[in-house]
Structure 1
């Protein structure tokens, strides 16, 4: 009897570069039999002896492959779309910047400044060359002085004297050549300096023209913006007035009701103020009555406990007037 067993999940493998799955199938039969094919499966290795493993390839379903292909295609399309949009935005930005430079004259200013920098670099190179040639001339003249000193020490007719004369001739030829080169380089430096001055003047004129253009266009833009603002404000004012008239026409029926309600509210307000005033007066009168009653009670209490001496002392003026009335009346 043929019995077969699938190995657990950790034994699943995939072939490199494909989406097929490989499983190990263990045959426990005592005979060698070919395993049945599953779908479009293909057998990788021939069956081994009983108890050994066989490898069976399972193809991935068509729907899964199509879904994976579609997801990868959509992801690449999204990435390409993002890159294209970014490049388009950059190109539009560069076009707008170039248009602004051409419109305001900034491109001419940049070209003039580049020319100034180029001439300045050339002038620096020529100056370095002139300094180098001047140094060589200084060394040649120093050598000439040394030769003259040696000639004064040497005796005519000697071999050393002839060599010094030849050396002097060579040094004079070199000095003449260096002087010619120095004159050429000096003339070139002067020309470059004059070109640099003209380029700087042209650059300043271009910058001044560009600044004037920007200033004039700024004034024109400010005037245009102010005019557009006035027009927009007028349109908004007309629109608001139209809305107000519409609201006024729609609310004209309720004006009478509002007036009646206002009159009633005013009447209630007057009544409420009268009630408040009446209550306030009543409270003041009650407070006065209470204070008067307290005062009379205190007076009566004090009189009940008061003696003749204190009474006469307190009413001494009345007693005096009783016995000695005022005769001036």
Structure 2
């Protein structure tokens, strides 16, 4: 895997696995506050945020991208989450199957996105801010938002405009391959579906509590999360190794088994292996050498495991 093509230039992708829904009404904000992992009530209008939707066992049932607009909410999630809130409260939730999200990420994305005409200076749009503008005579929403640690933007547009915007704005960059995209997410500690979907590890062990707002008095899964905080004894941490590493290998410290390998990526360009370990919490610290059963050495890392190119730019 290699994320440098995205990081040193830019790429785009559509969120094909998410559906778009519109929700309005007097109590819709209160309902979303209860079902989503971060504050909705105190978020500014015309902003976007990334949430978890949890069940009562604090398991992720869907990732949710929520747009808080001036007079309505748009959210992108899987169908399962929309059905839960619709059935629980009898809300009028409209599926907007004509809309999708186009995501662009990478260090050159501000220059590329500036090709869209707008009264706003798109290159200096604040993180999470949303504006309404037009592309080829069609209303779109554009936000400064992304997941890889690089400069990123999202565009909500009708699906029939997909080809036109790619041909006219993004023709100099290519689609982000899903394997390289998930590798980029791993590098900055973003939640990975392949890890949380099995429910083998809880969110505390996976280190995903940064996406939970515990200042909220009540939300689905809160009590279970508090239990996990008290009783979890393992924690995730990154590693690198010059030798071949495989998932499910035992990890040793001074001859004692202290954890296991749960994710591996091979970096072909640098000829190293990187990934994630699940260790006993007292051992889950960076810059420590551990060994595998074949006596090869792996070294733990602090996050992020790759410094995004955009962080090196002084002008943003």
Q: Which has the higher contact order (CA 8 A, sep 6+)?
A: 2
Q: Given the two structures, how large is their TM-score scaled by the length of structure 2?
A: 0.15
Q: Given the two structures, how large is their TM-score scaled by the length of structure 1?
A: 0.14
Q: Which structure has greater strand proportion?
A: 2
Q: Which structure has greater helix proportion?
A: 1
